Structure 1
């Protein structure tokens, strides 16, 4: 089986490249490697490789964004298996999906032709464009925080000291003071509900986001469903308590936290609100125009062998 590594050398503020240089010395099989140089480059590389029709293992070496892009490139290509080695600052993907940690694990998988698992993919369809998400997508406070995190120099500074995971927490505190809440209508196949004073709504394919926050404890990326976690009517102090408890998945006990499970949700805001998919800025909602969040089953394959 052909094996290809797609490496994002800038992930983790450049630490990814240093880790790759050490990692590759322990590999004991023939492989190809490509370095990304721009956003969406990993998707293009993965798609080009997949289109050859050759049975192959494509390994994303980088952060959650690199994993997202590689998976996006192999959707509907049954000849491809995705492997992931987390080398970013958040690495939520590795908390919710099987992933490699050591070169020896990859060596064994290639040597034994390990098994695979079929995984779901999420979609967000808006009036102007569509997006995919592997981990989660959201509207509101968390999306605005993600937008600030990705464009700020603070993340790079904290990464230099190995404190990248604190970036999200820093911007949560910063945004808490100024964020304006909104009204959100949630439509699923069985009901329509309107929520006032909404902080955020996160639609999840797996449990984690924000560098280890267990936002959706019941989410399973292979069950054909997505879950929405909606937080509203809480004071700023109580919202802080929610964020403090979410790392353990205990936030669901708060009165202002609602969770629903379905195959599709239509979300409509009463004003412009920031949107994200897998932590990346995905433009803003349009007031009174619904965004549709859906899931499709068995759209890609991942390595199932994880050695501990």
Structure 2
């Protein structure tokens, strides 16, 4: 077991307040077991980026297996938050992929934790983290906005279409604020889905890979991912693997509601891959173009209502998981 000094980056608001409770349990465990740590509290959207960059420039260090032979405390950043908090940290690290990130999930969706088979109870996740001797590589997505030239990273997926529309609708609903106060904010997405799923229209989309260019005229959902889950545990791409270098692109066509309801039922039972209205691609590089404005989301965060021209690759990154 490697000797660690933990830097806990905590989003107390994650999971409608779950983050604060998780942090209390984690700190109690660390105090009881005399494990050294510091805390850094993310107080607003984007704050985790600032905190992670400050730690990156001051105390964090690249991993080397030789560190196991020393008596020094290795400084490890451990994120306590949801998929959105992890998204901020990964983008703060950018090209510093050799500096490991620990993660204790306490959000409402926790899709990344599911994708890497990470324990979702905070103390159990901490115990697992402390038992490890070294980090391991997992693939994340690297995506370039060809309209702006901006390059960013994500740990889960990027969606264009109905899933992003649901995220935007839920985030701007008055119901979400009320449900958050009751600690059941995730229900706002279910409420939004019942409305959006009928309103989302099909849209043209072009997919370009090394092998082919494919045009879709009536897209309902397009998700690019490197692990199976989206939407808080729905296995849209059940065979996607974050240990492999390729990504999975899932495209669903807009179809009449009876057929769509059947497809959703198949999805929940993991029987959806045989549907002729669903198209799956596995590739190491891809480009997606949507010339009509649509909603987009990345790791559950809004990308706005706009046109899209995005190029994708994968990027190996060290995680202490």
| TM-score computed with the length of structure 2 as normaliser | 0.85
Q: Tell me which residue corresponds to 2:9.
A: 6
Write out per-residue CA displacement over residues 19-70 of structure 1, whole angstroms, 9 at most, x where no aligned residue: 3223321222110111101222112212221233444221111111112222
Alignment of 1:211-226 (within 5 A): 211-226=232-247
Q: Show structure 1 runs of 4+ deviating over 6 A.
A: none
Within the candidate set 30, 35, 39, 1:33 is matched to 39
Q: Tell me which residue corresponds to 1:50.
A: 56
Report how far residue 161 of structure 1 moved. Answer: 4.9
Task: Tell me: CA distance 1:251–1:71, structure 2 relative to 1, closer, same or farther (3 Å).
Answer: same
1:282 partner SS: strand
> Please, which moves more after superposition, 158-167 or 219-228?
158-167
Alignment of 1:29-178 (within 5 A): 29-52=35-58, 53-54=60-61, 55-77=74-96, 80-100=99-119, 101-103=121-123, 105-107=125-127, 109-110=129-130, 112-126=131-145, 127-128=147-148, 129-161=150-182, 163-178=184-199
RMSD of aligned Cα (Å): 2.2
Report how far residue 234 of structure 1 moved. Answer: 1.8
For structure 2, the residue ranges without an aligned partner over 5 or more in a row are 62-73
Q: Tell me which residue corresponds to 1:277.
A: 298
Report how far residue 164 of structure 1 moved. Answer: 4.2
Task: Tell me: CA distance 1:151–1:271, structure 2 relative to 1, closer, same or farther (3 Å).
Answer: same
Distance 2:128 2:232 in 1: 29
Q: Tell me which residue corresponds to 2:68.
A: none
Distance 1:226 1:241 in 2: 26
Report how far residue 108 of structure 1 moved. Answer: 6.1
**Are residue 197 (structure 1) and residue 203 (structure 2) matched?**
no
| Conserved? CA contact 2:8–2:39, under 8 Å | yes
Q: Tell me which residue corresponds to 1:15.
A: 18
Q: How many residues align?
A: 299
| Conserved? CA contact 2:17–2:183, under 8 Å | no
Distance 2:169 2:195 in 1: 10
1:273 partner SS: strand
> Please, which moves more after superposition, 243-252 or 191-200?
243-252
2:95 partner SS: coil
